[in-house]
């Protein structure tokens, strides 16, 4: 009786210890996963905010350039300019704080330079804004915009690099904890076999001897079952690793709002296609939603998000699987059509324009009519760098905007 009771207490104690250790490992893994996921989500949000601010600066610069061309000196009231200045000032303060959290001291200099550029060149003009220096303000803003956009591009890449690091850390942590759990499971199997199963067999022998039977036959079933369980556990963990890795890769390459590829994934896919396949003909489209800022300002960002998602859905339904399309930033989308002639490229672009023109978005009691402007860079024989091709398409997009919007312009 005493032998059986002591043995039962030993088994119970060891089981409790094993369960406690597994619980601690599980809690630590969840804590690391939540922390990494929060960092990844925060960095993705920062990148989105920087991209939106860049588009805002360039869009305002475009508007001010138009005002200068027509001699307009007072399109906005003073309080609107002051509000715009406060928004940009708050953005710089926020990004400065986030840079201190996520970036190195050298990278923080980029934010400091951008703040100095703003404070020294633009802010004084806004504070003393009146009719006489309105033209000076617009001219300064037009000169300031490319510098600001350039700094914001560099800053976005810094945060994007940090996002890559966080995702890699998340994968490493996942692999580490899964490896630790696998090792511990192997140890548990060995532990139970040597410290529990063997004593049980010995206790059975002792009991049978006491009963006078004297018959004993060993069985390999427990060992086989443990090996099967180990194999199943390994397969389950392999499946978890593959699933989690796939989720992380998808998170890093997709735009969270529209589900399309993001800018970085587009650039990588484009480079791979050119390097591996090679193409004699390419059409690169820049698709920009007309008056998107006005939609956001009037109906709010929730309706603005619906507009972006609907536009992305239309683009996904029209283009081929062979084409590469992504949300390039803000309200701008980019599409690469490979081995497509000029006529076919224009036909597809016009189809996109017409389908979007026929699309209505409900905003309460109002109905929003959507239109897009499309710029196409068509390259034959020798495909230049992606940057140069995008620049050509951007010029055509600018021409479509200036000629009344809701149009398709091509460099041929």
- Quickly list DSSP for 251-316: HHHB-TTT-SB-HHHHHHHHHHHHHHT--SEEEEEEEEETTHHHHHHHH-HHHHHHHHHHHHHHHH
Q: State residue 370's pLDDT score.
A: 93
Contact 141, 60 (CB under 8 A): yes
Question: What was the pLDDT predicted at 412?
Answer: 81
Instruction: Kindly give the parts of the chain with pLDDT less than 50.
Output: 1-7, 206, 210-224, 226-227, 230-231, 234
184: how many CB neighbours lie within 10 A of its CB?
Answer: 15
Q: How far is CA 157 from CA 51, 214, 262, in A?
A: 11, 77, 13
Dist. CA 59–CA 291, nearest whole Å: 10
- pTM (2 d.p.): 0.45
CA distance 303 to 20: 49
Output the DSSP codes for 124-168: HHHHT--STTHHHHHHHHHHHHHHHHHHHHHHHHHHHHHHHHHHH
For β-strands 372-380 and 408-410, DSSP reports them as parallel
pLDDT of residue 216: 39
The pLDDT of residue 221 is 42
Report the DSSP pairing between strands 281-289 and 372-380. Answer: antiparallel
CA–CA distance, 103 with 51 (Å, rounded to integer) = 18
Catalytic residue among 166, 170, 331, 332: 331
Residue-level length of the chain = 412
Residue 275: active-site member: no
The pLDDT value recorded for residue 174 is 66
338 and 282 in contact (C-beta within 8 Å)?
yes
Are the CB atoms for 349 and 411 separated by under 8 Å? Answer: no
With beta carbons less than 8 A apart as the criterion, state whether 54 and 151 touch: no
Within 8 A by CB and 6+ apart from 384, the residues are none
């Amino acid at each position: 009786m005493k032998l059986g009771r002591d043995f039962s207490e030993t088994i119970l104690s060891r089981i409790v210890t094993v369960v406690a250790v597994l619980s601690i490992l599980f809690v630590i893994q969840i804590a690391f996963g939540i922390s990494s996921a929060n960092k990844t989500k925060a960095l993705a949000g920062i990148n989105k905010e920087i991209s939106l601010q860049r588009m805002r600066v360039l869009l305002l610069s475009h508007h001010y350039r138009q005002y200068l061309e027509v001699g307009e000196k007072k399109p906005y009231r003073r309080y609107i300019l002051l509000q715009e200045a406060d928004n940009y000032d708050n953005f710089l303060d926020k990004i400065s704080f986030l840079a201190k959290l996520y970036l190195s001291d050298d990278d923080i200099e980029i934010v400091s330079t951008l703040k100095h550029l703003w404070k020294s060149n633009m802010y004084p003009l806004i504070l003393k804004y009146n009719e006489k220096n309105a033209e000076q303000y617009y001219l300064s803003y037009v000169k300031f915009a490319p510098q600001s956009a350039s700094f914001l591009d560099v800053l976005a890449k810094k945060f994007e690099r940090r996002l890559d690091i966080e995702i890699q850390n998340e994968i490493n942590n996942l692999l580490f904890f899964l490896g630790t759990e696998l090792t511990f499971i192997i140890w548990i199997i060995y532990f139970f076999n040597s410290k529990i199963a063997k004593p049980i067999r010995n206790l059975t022998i002792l009991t049978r001897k006491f009963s006078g039977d004297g018959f004993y036959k060993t069985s390999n079933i427990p060992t086989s079952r443990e090996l099967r369980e180990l194999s199943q556990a390994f397969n389950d963990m392999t499946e978890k690793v593959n699933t989690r890795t796939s989720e992380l890769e998808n998170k890093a390459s997709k735009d969270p709002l529209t589900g399309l590829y993001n800018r970085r994934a587009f650039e990588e896919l484009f480079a791979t296609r050119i390097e591996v396949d090679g193409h004699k003909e390419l059409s690169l489209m820049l698709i920009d939603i007309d008056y998107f800022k006005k939609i956001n300002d009037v109906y709010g960002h929730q309706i603005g998000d619906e507009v972006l998602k609907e536009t992305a859905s239309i683009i996904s339904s029209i283009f081929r699987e062979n084409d590469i399309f992504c949300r390039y930033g803000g309200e701008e989308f980019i599409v690469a059509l490979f081995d497509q002639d000029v006529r076919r490229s224009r036909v597809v672009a016009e189809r996109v324009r017409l389908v979007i023109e026929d699309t209505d978005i409900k905003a309460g009691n109002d109905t929003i009519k959507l239109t897009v402007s499309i710029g196409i860079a068509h390259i034959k024989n020798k495909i230049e760098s992606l940057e140069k091709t995008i620049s050509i398409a951007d010029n055509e997009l600018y021409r479509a905007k200036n000629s009344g919007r809701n149009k398709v312009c091509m460099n041929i």
